[in-house]
Amino acid sequence: MAGRIRTTKKLAQRIDRGYFRRLFPIPFWRRIFSLLVVGVCLVWLGFHAAAHDESPYSSGPLTVQHAILGGNCASCHGQGLAVGRRIKDQACLSCHDGPVHNAAQTFSPACVECHVEHKGTERLIAAQGSQLCTSCHSNLHTRSGKTQVAANIESFTHGHPEFSVLRSGAADPAAIKFNHKAHVGDLSQKCGDCHHAGGGVNDGAGAAGSPRGVMRPVGYQEQCSTCHPLSFDDKIPDAAPHDKPEVVHEFVTRKLREYIAGHASELGKAGTPRNAAEWVRSQVEVDEKQLWTTTCDRCHTLHPAAGAGLPSVPETKISHRWFTKAKFDHSAHQELQCVSCHANAASSTKASDVLLPGIRTCQECHGVAAKASGECSTCHLYHDWTKGRPVDGKFTIKQL
C-alpha cells in the first residue's frame, strides 16, 4: 500500500481547468442581489415618479408651512437643469411679501441667503446668525455713502450704538404730569399695579412680537380712576368721562339738567337762580371751572380757549415702545425685578424722565458668552414691515 501521496501534478489534475468560467453561488447571488437592490430602489423612485411626486429627491424635510409644496420641486426650484442655481426671489415673492430692509442698502441679498429650507419641519425658516447682518454692518456702505448711526457694528457688545432715545438725550415727550416717586415711593405702589404686560400692538412688527411682550399702555380708566376720580359736583355722584372737553361739557350739562329736574326745590335757594335753565348754566360754569383748573390739570396741561369756549387737551404722547427698530419682550425678562433695569423709576419725579435702561444694562447679559443671546435677530427684524404690501395669490388649490 503506497498510501496517498499528494503531488502537485495529481492535485492539479483533479481540477477542471475551465472551472472559473462557470458561475458559482456566491457570484451568482451577488449579481441577483445587485439587480434586486437596484431594482427595488428604482421601483421606489419610479412609483413616486409615476405619481408625479418628487418628494424622494428632497434634500430634507420642508417646514410645515411649506410641506404642501414637497411633491413639486418645480414650484420653487423652477424647471430645467440648474447647476448651482439658487431659488429665485420671484419664487418666494409669488406667495410672500419681502419688504426691503433699508432704502439705502447697496444690495439686497437673495431670500434663500437667510431663509433656508429643507432643514427639518420644526426649524425656523429664517434662522439667522449675526454673521449675515454683520457681513454688511461691520463695515456699512450705503447708497449715499453716508451712514446715519454706526458704520461698524461687529456685534451687540462691539460697536452697537446706544438706544436712539438715550443717545439723543431727549426728554420723554409725554405731555402729562406724572410723578413715579410719589406713586412708588410715597404711596408704596408696585410697578405691576399700573404696568401690565400684554400690550401687544400691531405696530408693523408683524406676528413676531409677542402680544405679551410689550407693556400695555397705562390708561386712566384702569390705572388712575380709582384714586383720581373725575368728580365735578358734590350733588352728582357720577364722575365725568375721561374724554375730550366737549364730551365732558355735554356730560356735565346733561347730568345737571337731570339733577335739577328732580330737585326743583333747590331752585332759588341761597341766592341761586330760580330758573332751572339758568341754574344749570351757572352750575356748569362752576363745575367746569373746577374740572378745567383742578381735576384735569392734575395730569394734563389744558390750553384755555380764547374767549368763552372750552379748553383743549393736548395729545399726551405717551411712548408705548421706545425702540423704533427693535423689539423687546418684557415677558422674556419677567424673572427680573423691574427696578433692576428701570433703576430710576422709584426716584423719578417728572414725566419727562426717560426711564429706559441704557444699552449697558442689556449688555450685562446679552452678548456675554453663556448668558444671553447677542444675536441681531434677538431684537431686530430684517424686513421693514412698515413697507409691507399685500400679495396677490397666484395659485389655485389644485395647483398646490
**Under the rule (CB under 8 A), what is the footprint of other proteins?**
1-4, 6-17, 19-22, 24, 26, 29-30, 33-38, 41-42, 45, 54-61, 73-74, 77, 80-84, 86, 116, 118-119, 131
* Helical segments of the chain, H only: 8-14, 25-50, 74-77, 89-93, 111-114, 130-137, 164-168, 180, 191-194, 245-262, 276-290, 338-341, 359-363
Cell of 390: 399685500
Scored b (16 or more CB within 10 A) or e, 237-265 reads eeebebeebeebbebbbebbeebbeeeee
83 vs 306, beta carbon nearer other proteins? 83
Nearest to 191 by CA among 227, 216, 170, 209: 216
1 vs 227, beta carbon nearer other proteins? 1
Write down the least CB distance from residue 108 to other proteins, Å.
19
**How many C-beta neighbours within 10 Å does residue 97 have?**
13
Q: Collect all residues with Cβ–Cβ distance below 8 Å to 112 and sequence separation of at least 6.
A: 86, 87, 92
199 vs 374, beta carbon nearer other proteins? 374
- φ and ψ of 301, to 5 deg: -105, 105
Write down the least CB distance from residue 222 to other proteins, Å.
47
Write down the least CB distance from residue 45 to other proteins, Å.
7
DSSP 366: B
77 vs 242, beta carbon nearer other proteins? 77
CA dist 348 and 107 (Å) reads: 45
45 vs 149, beta carbon nearer other proteins? 45
Q: Collect all residues with Cβ–Cβ distance below 8 Å to 281 and sequence separation of at least 6.
A: none
Write down the least CB distance from residue 117 to other proteins, Å.
11
26 vs 308, beta carbon nearer other proteins? 26
Write down the least CB distance from residue 183 to other proteins, Å.
51
35 vs 332, beta carbon nearer other proteins? 35
Write down the least CB distance from residue 369 to other proteins, Å.
16
Write down the least CB distance from residue 154 to other proteins, Å.
15
